[in-house]
């Protein structure tokens, strides 16, 4: 069973009223990265390839000049089609007996963009990352709500103890 947004909010920090939804909590975009070299998924280990942190005031990943932000002076990512890694702005802590998933805000997919999720394990705590797929040019303000995080009750053996534990906090 999926838990309520009020329950999820107890495990997401910080949260505002605007982030709290009936069935989950919206997460914001803290940073956008574009990979610049191959990573590697091995049979025994993995390596995350180096990546560029995009400037939210720039016109895109290849822009030579900083354009000075959005129309209202707000920093904005102007993203052409491609695959990006986003870091969420909130620390989530997956409680025992639960598993987490990310869904895109529907406004994101209505703009022909998609956020992909992997499994958020019981016991994991950190500012996680996700794959942002952009199929049509889009503008995303730094700090805007882009995702909805949900928690479902789940059986599990042990808790997360991997290399991403405590990341980005």
Ligand X SMILES: O=c1ccn([C@H]2C[C@H](O)[C@@H](COP(=O)(O)OP(=O)(O)OP(=O)(O)O)O2)c(=O)[nH]1
Question: Which one of 27, 57, 130, 147 is in contact with ligand X (CB under 6 A)?
Answer: 130
Minimum gap (Å) between residue 124 Cβ and ligand X:
3
Instruction: Please tell me whether residue 117 binds ligand X under the rule CB under 6 A.
Output: yes
* Calpha distance 26→106 (Å, rounded): 11
Minimum gap (Å) between residue 59 Cβ and ligand X:
28
- Contact stretch for ligand X (CB under 6 A) within 51-59, 61-69, 74-82, 122-130: 122-130
Question: Which one of 76, 124, 150, 151 is in contact with ligand X (CB under 6 A)?
Answer: 124
Phi, psi dihedrals of residue 64, rounded to the nearest 5°: -85, -30
**CB atoms near residue 116 (< 10 Å):** 11
Instruction: Please tell me whether residue 119 binds ligand X under the rule CB under 6 A.
Output: yes
Q: Where are the alpha helices (DSSP H) in 70-157?
A: 106-110
Instruction: Please tell me whether residue 120 binds ligand X under the rule CB under 6 A.
Output: yes
Rounded to the nearest 10°, the torsion over CA 83, 88, 93, 99 is -30
Long-range contacts of range 62-69, CB-CB < 8 Å, 24 or more positions apart? Answer: none
Q: Which is nearer to ligand X, 15 or 90 (CB)?
A: 90
Q: Which residues bind ligand X (CB under 6 A)?
A: 46, 102, 117-121, 124, 128-130, 160, 162-164
């Amino acid at each position: 069973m999926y838990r309520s947004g009020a329950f999820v909010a107890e495990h997401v920090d910080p949260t505002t009223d605007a982030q709290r939804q009936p069935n989950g909590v919206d997460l914001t975009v803290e940073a956008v990265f574009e990979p610049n070299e191959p990573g590697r998924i091995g049979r025994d280990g993995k390596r995350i390839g180096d990546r560029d942190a995009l400037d939210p005031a720039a016109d895109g990943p290849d822009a030579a000049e900083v354009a000075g932000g959005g129309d209202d002076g707000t920093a904005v990512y102007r993203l052409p089609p491609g695959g990006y890694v986003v870091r969420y702005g909130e620390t989530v802590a997956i409680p025992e007996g639960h598993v987490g998933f990310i869904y895109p805000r529907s406004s994101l997919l209505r703009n022909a963009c998609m956020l992909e999720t992997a499994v958020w394990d019981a016991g994991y705590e950190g500012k996680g990352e996700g794959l942002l797929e952009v199929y049509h040019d889009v503008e995303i303000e730094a700090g805007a709500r882009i995702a909805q995080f949900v928690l479902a009750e789940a059986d599990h053996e042990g808790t997360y103890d991997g290399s991403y534990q405590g990341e980005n906090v």
